[in-house]
A and B are shown apart, each in its own frame.
Chain A
């Protein structure tokens, strides 16, 4: 028992240090400016935005999964529902930390409310995720106070489910509708974002549950092994859809002769490649998908941890790769001041934003798990 207490205390200290470092980074960014990032007027969006996309989409995925018991009323998944809603909220908050530190003038944010531009996908994305955050908090509170299935509580479930469906489409359209950057694939980006969100959401829930089980030795998780095995099958199906979409994306890329795509290919191998396939896709999507096809891997705790961890890292890398590849070459006269092709590696300040967002999210997970009875089911 004392060993567990020691571990818990150490964990909180680690998170505390990470949050202090993140706060220091935030102060430096607001005081000195975003030149502290390894960005410029060609690579405009970098790791903090990639982390935001990853966490926001993951949150949407978690909310959609929570919809299985809460909206589709598949009762056997009710033991997962409260934890899924809480993780969705905490993950989204981590995403907001990342985007908040990415914005140059966060103090002007109130204009989003007072001067909305309804033709802007960024406005819709911000609006939908803000509403989603509030709905998730209220829904969680209703569940926590025992109101799972009242009319109001059901309405909250449906609203959060619909918002979680639309929000990834909006993130995709932020990229997909840019006239200047054909490498973002137009409407396909929206569908791709939705699928990757669902995939990383499923991976996060699986990874979190298994680690929680390992660290705490929680009996509830063990008693629900068949349910987790079934969930691993759903996870495998989602990975399969992501594999198909990724193959379609590769087919389009390799068949095109559009000049921007040819430049994109140079950047596509930034993380290494094998037979034309990016390493992050091979190790972060294809490999775990193949592993999930093996029943013994799917059913073992170790298999669940490895596959979900690979997919979590893989989807983050895939988001980063897509984000950077579309910005790898200067547009128009910017080629006068910058090389024809630009590479990127995050600065220490960008890593600290990443750490800050993760630490806030993990702190919420930890406190939620300790005080909010996340395994609760309706009476």
Chain B
């Protein structure tokens, strides 16, 4: 059985956000919820400042606090290492969200996609209402609804339960890459089986010194970051007193 992991090459990542947009489309993610997200940091004091960008998603931890804490096993591990969620078993206690050290789990506070459920047209008789728009393209709730998401998880999760990245398990089951990996124009995301020493992820992890987020708390995150993007130059110097 493979153990899936992802390497994110920060030198290749340009921070375009295509991963996040692709994720929303693929997984019918509602507004206000971010399966794929980012951490941006500005360091230094003006005028010597730099901007850093770290893409984030569920770390599919080996020792996942969300799985350990879930009272009904709604949050659970698959044999391939993916941390999966079953909304039918979720009681909406939000302990996984509370317990996640990475801030990648979100709660559906209301019925998702409220905008597309609105039946008021902007111009009566002139434009479609959002609800009509979705109905006319034959979609479920949102016009860009992806029915393939239903393979392993309700395509749109109901209110009162949490949701998060599943490494696009519905695609992985079919031998396809997670959609964020597919959509990345810079090939900054590399996905594969970390238990296979010949996989691309294993080769990269042997070649570059990776880091993981909050590694010290022992959660064994399976998102690895390598390299950094920094074109800055400086003249050789020993500093001064």
Chain A residues at the B interface, C-beta cutoff of 8 Å: 32-35, 37, 39-41, 44-45, 102-106, 108-109, 111-112, 115-117, 119-123, 126, 174, 177-181, 327, 330-337
Q: Is the interface of B mostly helix, strand, loop or mixed?
A: loop
- Identify the 7 closest CB pairs spanning chains A and B, nearest first: A104-B92, A104-B160, A332-B103, A180-B101, A331-B103, A333-B37, A123-B71
Residue numbers in B under 8 Å from A106 (CB-CB): 91-92
Instruction: Give the docked Cα–Cα distance between A273 and B196 (Å).
Output: 57
> 1/0 per position for B150-171, CB-CB distance to A under 8 A?
0000000011110000000000
Instruction: Give the docked Cα–Cα distance between A174 and B68 (Å).
Output: 11
A34 touches B98 (CB 8 A): no
* Contact flag A104-B107 (CB < 8 Å), given A179-B101, A332-B56: yes
A34 touches B160 (CB 8 A): yes
B71 touches A103 (CB 8 A): no
| Shortest distance from the beta carbon of A131 to any chain B beta carbon, whole Å | 15
11 contacts between A and B (CB under 8 A): A34-B109, A34-B160, A104-B91, A104-B93, A105-B91, A120-B71, A122-B95, A180-B101, A331-B102, A332-B39, A333-B56
B39 touches A104 (CB 8 A): no
A108 touches B71 (CB 8 A): no
A108 touches B104 (CB 8 A): no
Residue of B with least CB distance to A29 = B160
| Shortest distance from the beta carbon of B37 to any chain A beta carbon, whole Å | 4
B18 near A: Cβ within 8 Å? no
B65 near A: Cβ within 8 Å? yes
Instruction: Give the docked Cα–Cα distance between A242 and B236 (Å).
Output: 60
B94 near A: Cβ within 8 Å? yes
| Shortest distance from the beta carbon of A312 to any chain B beta carbon, whole Å | 26
Residue numbers in B under 8 Å from A331 (CB-CB): 100-103
Instruction: Give the docked Cα–Cα distance between A39 and B110 (Å).
Output: 12
Instruction: Give the docked Cα–Cα distance between A104 and B159 (Å).
Output: 7
Which of B21-29, B125-133, B198-206, B211-219 is the interface stretch? B211-219
A330 touches B103 (CB 8 A): yes
| Shortest distance from the beta carbon of B33 to any chain A beta carbon, whole Å | 8
Instruction: Give the docked Cα–Cα distance between A331 and B106 (Å).
Output: 12
| Shortest distance from the beta carbon of B113 to any chain A beta carbon, whole Å | 13
The one of B39, B97, B100, B217 that contacts A335, using a Cβ cutoff of 8 Å: B39
Instruction: Give the docked Cα–Cα distance between A104 and B111 (Å).
Output: 12
Instruction: Give the docked Cα–Cα distance between A196 and B158 (Å).
Output: 37
Residue numbers in A under 8 Å from B40 (CB-CB): 336
A103 touches B91 (CB 8 A): yes
Residue numbers in B under 8 Å from A333 (CB-CB): 34, 37-39, 56, 102-104
A33 touches B213 (CB 8 A): no
Residue numbers in A under 8 Å from B94 (CB-CB): 44-45, 104
B39 touches A126 (CB 8 A): no
Apart from A105-B160, A105-B161, A179-B65: 14 A-B pairs, beta carbons within 8 A: A44-B94, A106-B92, A112-B91, A115-B72, A116-B73, A120-B95, A123-B71, A331-B100, A332-B56, A332-B101, A332-B213, A335-B103, A336-B37, A336-B39
Instruction: Give the docked Cα–Cα distance between A40 and B91 (Å).
Output: 17
Residue numbers in B under 8 Å from A45 (CB-CB): 94, 98
Residue numbers in B under 8 Å from A332 (CB-CB): 39, 56, 101-104, 213
Which residues from 31 to 56 on chain B have a C-beta closer than 8 Å to any C-beta of chain A? Answer: 32, 34, 37-40, 56
Residue numbers in A under 8 Å from B56 (CB-CB): 332-333
* Contact flag A115-B111 (CB < 8 Å), given A44-B94, A180-B101, A333-B38: no
Instruction: Give the docked Cα–Cα distance between A43 and B97 (Å).
Output: 10
B188 near A: Cβ within 8 Å? no
B91 touches A179 (CB 8 A): no
Instruction: Name the residue among B32, B106, B160 with the largest chain A CB count within 10 angstroms.
Output: B160
Instruction: Give the docked Cα–Cα distance between A34 and B65 (Å).
Output: 24
Residue numbers in B under 8 Å from A35 (CB-CB): 109-110
* Contact flag A117-B89 (CB < 8 Å), given A41-B97, A331-B100: no
